[in-house]
Every structure is written in C-alpha cells, then in structure tokens.
Structure 1
Amino acid sequence: MPATAGERPLTPAGRRVLEVASALFYERGIGQVGMELIAAEAGVTKKTVYDRFGSKEALVLAYLRARDERWRAFLDERLAAAPSPRERVLATFDALGEWLRAESARGCSMVNAVAEVPAPDHPVHRVAAEQKSWLRGLYADLIVQAGHGDAGGLADRLALLHEGAVVMFSVGAMADAPEIARDTAAALLP
C-alpha cells in the first residue's frame, strides 16, 4: 500500500511502522502517541519513521487509509456472500457488528481522528469525509441494485443508522446496536 505523499511502496520497516502506529493511534489516540514511541515499538529509529512517512501527519493519514482499506475488504467479503441485493444491504449491518466486536471497540477511527484534529481544513477531515461519502454511495448503489427508487433518501437513512450504531456500540450504550440498526434497515427496505 502506498503510504507517503509520493505514493512509494512501503518497505518491510515501513509496513511495521504503519502497523505499530495504527495500533497505537487507535488504542491511545493520535495526540497521545509520539514518533519516538512508534519508532521504539516498531524496532526502528525515529529517522526511519520520518524517512518512510515524512511527518506524523502523513503517518496518520496512512493509518486512516489503511484502516479504511481493511474495513472495505472485510465488508466486500460479507457482501459477496449475500444471496440477494436486499440481503447485501442488510449484510452491511451484520458485517458492522462483526467488525465492531473484533476490530473497533473504541469506535470509528475516522470519527476519533476528526475529534482529535478539530481544524476543518486539516487533511484528516478530508479523508474522513471521503470515507463517509463512500459509505453513503455504497448504500445508494446497493439500494439501486435492490430495485428501490429513492436511492438518495434511503442511502442517507441507512448511513445514519450505520453511524449511529457505531456510536451507540462504542460508547457502551447498546451492545446490540448493529442488530437493532439491521432490524430498522430491514423495515425501511421494500
């Protein structure tokens, strides 16, 4: 996966840095993790971290993009197994429940990053907005495949259900939030 502004492929050390940084950023928060800690945990020098990524900002963006790629691949597998267009829509919520329980107990990495970096012109906001826009677009595509006429309006509702389930699950308010969101989506679909 490309990781730097120049889109160079990652070396083994670069992949290790990204893996370590991703785990630390997600578990501890971006602001709580310094380049020294990342280098130490990855078993490389701080110079290696900067040589591979250029800056902490670039490393954060690589982390967000890599996490999003993992989510999309995870979701694609579940969608491919669904037997019908309607079931593919519902499979997004099944996949969400699996993902939250296995990979995202602290919630959405995009939302967490945006909360830590409040400046709206920061590139983190663009990456997060692109991911959320992709999700809405996915729902619109799935709705069209399912033969529903109001793809935009229904896609908005499903994206909100999805994001609401992430929040309710991650704050500990509803352990079954993905399942409730799935049931609600099923009621909205024709």
Structure 2
Amino acid sequence: MTTPTDDAIRTRVLDAADRLYNARGIQAVGMDALRAEAGVPLKRLYKLFPAKDVIVEAVLARRHEVWTSFVEDAVASAPAPRDQLLAIYDMLARWFDEDDFRGCVFINTFGELGTASPRVAEIVRRHKAGFQDRLAQLCAAAGAPAWLAPQLAILAEGAQTTAAIAGTNEAAGHARAAAVTLIDAALGERTA
C-alpha cells in the first residue's frame, strides 16, 4: 500500500474544504470537521496547513482559477466581441443551475470574513477587479466606451447574489437582457 503524497493530501483537503465551505460557510467548519471530511489525521492537516486562513486562501485561489476558466470558455464559445460579453451571462445561467450553487464564493467569503481578515478582503478585491478588467478588454474589443465594463460587472455580481437567494437561474436572464440594453446603448453611442 502506498502512502499518499503531500500534494495528494493537500488536494484532498482543499477539495473537502471547498465542499464544506460552500455548503456550510467558512466559520461553521472547524478543522476537526475538515479533517474528518478529508480523511486526514489532524496532525498531518496542520503540517500541511498551519492555520485555517491558509486553507481559505488556497480554496479562493483554486476558485479564482475555476472562475477564470469559466469566463474564458464562455468567451471562446462566441464569435464576436458583443456576443462574447453576452456569453458570460449564458455561462452564469448554466452555473446557477448546478446542484451545489450557493452563490459566489468570493462574495460569501467577504461577507463572512472580509472585515476580520484583510488578506481575504484583498484576495476578493483582486478577484473582482480581475473580472472587471477582463470585461473592460472585451468592451474595448467591441468598440464600447470604458464606462460599460463596470456596469456589466455589477449586473453579473448582482445576478450571482440574486440567484443564490432565489434558488433559480432567472437572474442570469434578467442580467443578460439588461446587458443587451447597455451594450446596444454603448455601441449606439459610438456610432452616433
């Protein structure tokens, strides 16, 4: 029988932490619950992750990669810049339909820990700024003015929160319809 490597155990712990934090919230999940879910001795858990904050930051880093991949896959699926912007709202609708959707982990984490953990707050701010920057790139490629990107970002953020509360994907459709109006107004402004 082979002994799992530190990397394999790290992955198991982060997978378990992601599941538990998403389902219950970060503050509700202690290290003992995490140890039990991951099937890792507490001593080994603390050897790999000396503090819960380290696990939270690692989970957020992984979620950032997943989010970035979702956005880039949505953008790649659309032929033109305007369609690429709208494809993000289509991606949101699919995500909102997933069984484990509980809202944006970054918004949820900031709500739980943002005032108590400056490091977590900074991670969340960087993530959100990165999304807005990507929207700005897409808006520029579409020939839209700079003011459009933050407005589209707010629509996406609001849709995530609304979908988590409502338990349906309808917010994505409403956000997409509002995005169409904003994009058309912005592009019309360019040609006027």
% identical aligned pairs: 34
Matches for 1:155-166 after TM superposition, within 5 Å:
155-166=149-160
CA distance in 1, matches of 2:111, 2:42: 26
Residue segments in structure 2 that go unaligned for 5+ positions in a row: 188-192
Deviations 1:84-110 (A, max 9, x none): 011110011111111122266311111
Bigger Rg, structure 1 or 2: 2
Q: Say yes or no: does 1:108 pair with 2:104.
A: yes
* Paired residue type of 1:130: R
In structure 1, the residue corresponding to 2:79 is in which secondary structure?
Answer: coil
Tell whether the 8 Å contact from 2:97 to 2:168 is kept in structure 1 after alignment.
Answer: no
CA distance in 2, matches of 1:72, 1:103: 20
Q: Say yes or no: does 1:138 pair with 2:134.
A: yes
CA distance in 2, matches of 1:102, 1:175: 10
Q: Which runs of 4 or more aligned residues in structure 1 lie more than 4 Å from their structure 2 counterparts after TM superposition? A: none
Provide the residue aligned with 1:170 in structure 2: 164
CA distance in 1, matches of 2:13, 2:114: 25
* More off after superposition, 51-60 vs 172-181: 172-181
Distance 1:103 1:80, change over 3 A: farther
CA distance in 2, matches of 1:69, 1:57: 19
Q: Say yes or no: does 1:22 pair with 2:23.
A: no
Please report the RMSD computed on the Cα atoms of aligned residues, expressed in angstroms. 1.8
Q: Say yes or no: does 1:72 pair with 2:62.
A: no
Provide the residue aligned with 2:179 in structure 1: 185
Q: What is the aligned counterpart of 1:87 among 60, 69, 83?
A: 83
In structure 2, the residue corresponding to 1:105 is in which secondary structure?
Answer: coil
CA distance in 2, matches of 1:166, 1:13: 31
Post-superposition offset of 1:27? 0.6
CA distance in 2, matches of 1:50, 1:158: 41
Provide the residue aligned with 2:190 in structure 1: none
Question: How many residue pairs were aligned?
Answer: 180
Tell whether the 8 Å contact from 2:163 to 2:171 is kept in structure 1 after alignment.
Answer: yes
Matches for 1:6-45 after TM superposition, within 5 Å:
11-45=7-41
Residue segments in structure 1 that go unaligned for 5+ positions in a row: 1-8
CA distance in 1, matches of 2:167, 2:99: 18
* TM value normalised by structure 1: 0.89
CA distance in 2, matches of 1:115, 1:171: 14
Tell whether the 8 Å contact from 2:75 to 2:88 is kept in structure 1 after alignment.
Answer: yes
* Paired residue type of 1:117: L
Provide the residue aligned with 2:47 in structure 1: 51
Post-superposition offset of 1:173? 7.4
* Paired residue type of 1:16: R
Post-superposition offset of 1:175? 3.8
* Paired residue type of 2:128: K
Q: What is the aligned counterpart of 2:95 among 70, 95, 99?
A: 99
